[in-house]
């Protein structure tokens, strides 16, 4: 057990050496938000929100720079992820993450942003639009979690730990060494049918997943999303007023376009598909994501 703890700490330190803090830290109620702020300050604002087990590098890998010519681009680590923090696992709830990110944007005096959410970040972006329907300019949801998932992907079954204490014991002992051993297979599944880029661990921030903190955050996110998404989807019909759309890879093996994309059309969010695309579209097809985000931003009144 002691050897596992020491090994986990060593891998965590190496991960932070490979992927150091990229931006600034902003305190908010419930924790802190790590972010980078790109592009002209007087341009319309686009907020980029990553998915489960991710970090802001999922967007700075390619999409952020493409948008930064014409938008103020704020890419952030969701509460608890990357170099952001949260005070407790309770802040993993979709509604609480939405409130923390809105509080962060209030601190930056951001008005009417376009909310871009990938995967679980899509569920958080939807929660933000439900929380403040008059303040979200548009939604650009990329391979988003929008409805109750039913049977979860095998890639994330190891995150299904309900007890916060057990979650921390696993995180500081076996989770990180096991993640290191299984990383190649998990990334292949997450990116399938597209290949995982060779520079993903550094340029895409993937190495930050090899930290005890990352397992704690991902497990809490996974459990909170499973319990919270059903209640959230029940509100779409009456409370979702923000214009926008959905982009999915037609071959996404983690979240089904038929389950999470097509049903959003009844709420005014048209679903588009990328032929042959998988789940990690912001990294594999950043140019397509850039054009999609621009089209959604143009829908705003």
Neighbour tally for 251: CB within 10 Å: 16
Residue of 101, 112, 110, 102 whose CA lies nearest to 300: 112
Q: How many domains does the chain have?
A: 1
Task: Choose between 103 and 180: higher pLDDT.
Answer: 103
Task: Work out the average pLDDT over 124-139.
Answer: 97
Residue 66, preceding peptide bond in cis (omega within 30° of 0): no
- Closest residue by Cα to residue 167 from 119, 215, 132: 215
The CA R_g of the chain, rounded to the nearest whole Å, is 18
Other beta carbons within 10 angstroms of residue 27's beta carbon come to: 12
Q: Under a CB-based contact definition with an 8 Å cutoff, are residues 78 and 121 in contact?
A: yes
Distance between CA 71 and CA 74 in Å, rounded?
9
Query: Rounded to the nearest 5°, which phi and psi values hold at 141?
Result: -100, 120
CA 174 to chain centroid, in Å, comes to 24
Q: CB 259: neighbour CB atoms within 10 A? A: 14
Task: Decide: residue 95, CB within 10 A, 0-12 exposed, 13-18 middle, 19+ buried.
Answer: middle
Q: Is the pLDDT of residue 134 over 90?
A: yes
* CB-count exposure of residue 99 (10 Å: 0-12, 13-18, 19+): buried
CATH code at position 152: 3.40.50.1820
pLDDT tens string 155-174: 788 899 999 999 999 999 99
> Do the strands 244-249 and 270-274 form a parallel or antiparallel pair, or are they unpaired?
parallel
Is 295 a residue whose pLDDT tops 70? Answer: yes
Q: Does the pLDDT value for residue 151 go beyond 70? A: no
Q: How many CA atoms, within 13 angstroms, populate the side-chain half-sphere of residue 247?
A: 29
Q: Dihedral of CA 191/120/78/5: which sign?
A: negative
Helix (H, G, I), strand (E, B) or coil at 117: strand
| Amino acid 28: pLDDT | 98
Share the mean pLDDT of the chain.
95
How large is the average pLDDT for residues 206-220? Answer: 95
Range of the domain at 261: 2-298
Q: Which pTM value belongs to this model?
A: 0.96
**Look-up: residue for tokens 């598909």?**
273
């Amino acid at each position: 057990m002691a050897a596992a703890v020491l090994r986990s700490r060593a891998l965590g330190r190496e991960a932070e050496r490979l992927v150091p803090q990229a931006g600034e830290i902003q305190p908010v109620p419930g924790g802190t938000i790590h972010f980078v702020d790109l592009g002209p300050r007087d341009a319309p604002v686009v907020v980029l929100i990553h998915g489960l087990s991710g970090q802001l590098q999922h967007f700075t890998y390619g999409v952020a720079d493409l948008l930064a010519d014409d938008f103020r681009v704020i890419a952030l680590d969701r509460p608890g992820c990357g170099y952001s923090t949260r005070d407790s696992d309770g802040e993993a709830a979709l509604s609480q993450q939405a409130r923390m990110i809105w509080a962060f944007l209030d601190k930056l005096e951001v008005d009417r942003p376009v909310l871009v959410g990938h995967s679980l970040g899509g569920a958080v972006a939807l929660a933000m639009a439900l929380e403040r329907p008059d303040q979200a300019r548009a939604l650009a949801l990329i391979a988003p979690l929008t409805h109750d998932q039913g049977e979860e992907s095998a890639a994330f079954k190891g995150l299904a730990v309900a007890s916060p204490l057990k979650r921390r014991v696993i995180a500081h002992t076996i989770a990180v060494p096991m993640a290191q051993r299984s990383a190649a297979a998990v990334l292949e599944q997450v990116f399938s049918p597209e290949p995982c880029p060779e520079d993903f661990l550094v340029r895409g921030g993937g190495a930050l997943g090899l930290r005890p903190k990352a397992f704690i955050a991902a497990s809490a996110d996974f459990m909170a999303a499973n319990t919270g998404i059903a209640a959230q989807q029940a509100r779409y019909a009456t409370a979702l007023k923000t214009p926008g759309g959905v982009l999915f890879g037609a071959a996404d093996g983690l979240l089904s376009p038929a389950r999470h994309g097509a049903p959003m059309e009844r709420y005014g969010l048209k679903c588009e598909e990328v032929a042959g695309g998988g789940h990690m579209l912001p990294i594999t097809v950043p140019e397509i994501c850039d054009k999609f985000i621009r089209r959604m931003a143009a829908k705003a009144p």
